[in-house]
Amino acid sequence: MYKLTVFIPDDALESVKTALFAAGAGTLGNYEQCCWQVQGIGQFMPLVGSNPNIGAHDKLETVEEWRVEMVVADADMKQVIEVLKQAHPYETPAYDVIELLTF
What is the Cβ-side half-sphere exposure of residue 25, based on CA atoms within 13 angstroms?
Answer: 27
Residues in the chain: 103
**Spatial CB neighbours of 11, under 8 Å, sequence gap ≥ 6:** 89
Q: Which class does domain 2-99 fall in?
A: alpha beta
* DSSP secondary structure letters along 56-70: -TT--EEEEEEEEEE
- Is the pLDDT at 61 greater than 90, yes or no? yes
Query: Which pLDDT belongs to residue 25?
Result: 98
The domain segmentation of the chain, as residue ranges, is 2-99
pTM of the entire predicted model: 0.91
Q: Which helix (H) or strand (E) is 7 found in, with range?
A: strand 2-9
Q: Model confidence at 57, in pLDDT bands (50, 70, 90)? A: very high
Among 34, 30, 58, CA closest to 44: 58
Question: What does the mean pLDDT of the chain come to?
Answer: 96
Query: Which pLDDT belongs to residue 102?
Result: 83
DSSP 76: G
Average pLDDT over residues 58-76: 96
